[in-house]
Amino acid sequence: MSEPTGDVRTLVEHIAKLLVDAPDEVLVYQVEEGGETVIELEVAPADMGKAIGKHGRTVRALRSLVNAAGFRLNKRFELEILE
């Protein structure tokens, strides 16, 4: 079995580009804060609703994926959507 690469930022970017209408405007930043890594997702203003989803379901699912990847890599990640 292959080792995980640990590039959670790329995972979030790939999924976000599939969700929105303007994939060229998706920007993902990775910031180290203390003991955790913050993944910041920025999308076009028109795509903000698609990134968040109805009642926040989409962003909750993305956060679950990020947390699962972090658990597998023994790291702590947090996902934030920038306005």
Question: CATH number for the domain including 64?
Answer: 3.30.300.20
d(CA 35, CA 55): 30
Percentage of the chain beyond pLDDT 70 is 93
Residue 2 lies in a domain: no
Check if the beta carbon of residue 9 is closer than 8 Å to that of residue 30: yes
For residue range 3-18, list pLDDT tens digits in order: 455 589 999 999 999 9
Q: Per the structure, how many domains does the chain have?
A: 1
Q: Residue 21: what residue type?
A: D
Q: Is the pLDDT confidence value at 34 over 70?
A: yes
Q: Is the pLDDT confidence value at 30 over 90?
A: yes
Range of the domain at 47: 8-82
Average pLDDT, the chain: 91
Residue 27 lies in a domain: yes
Which pLDDT score, from 0 to 100, does residue 4 have?
Answer: 53
CA atoms within 13 A on the CB side of 48: 6
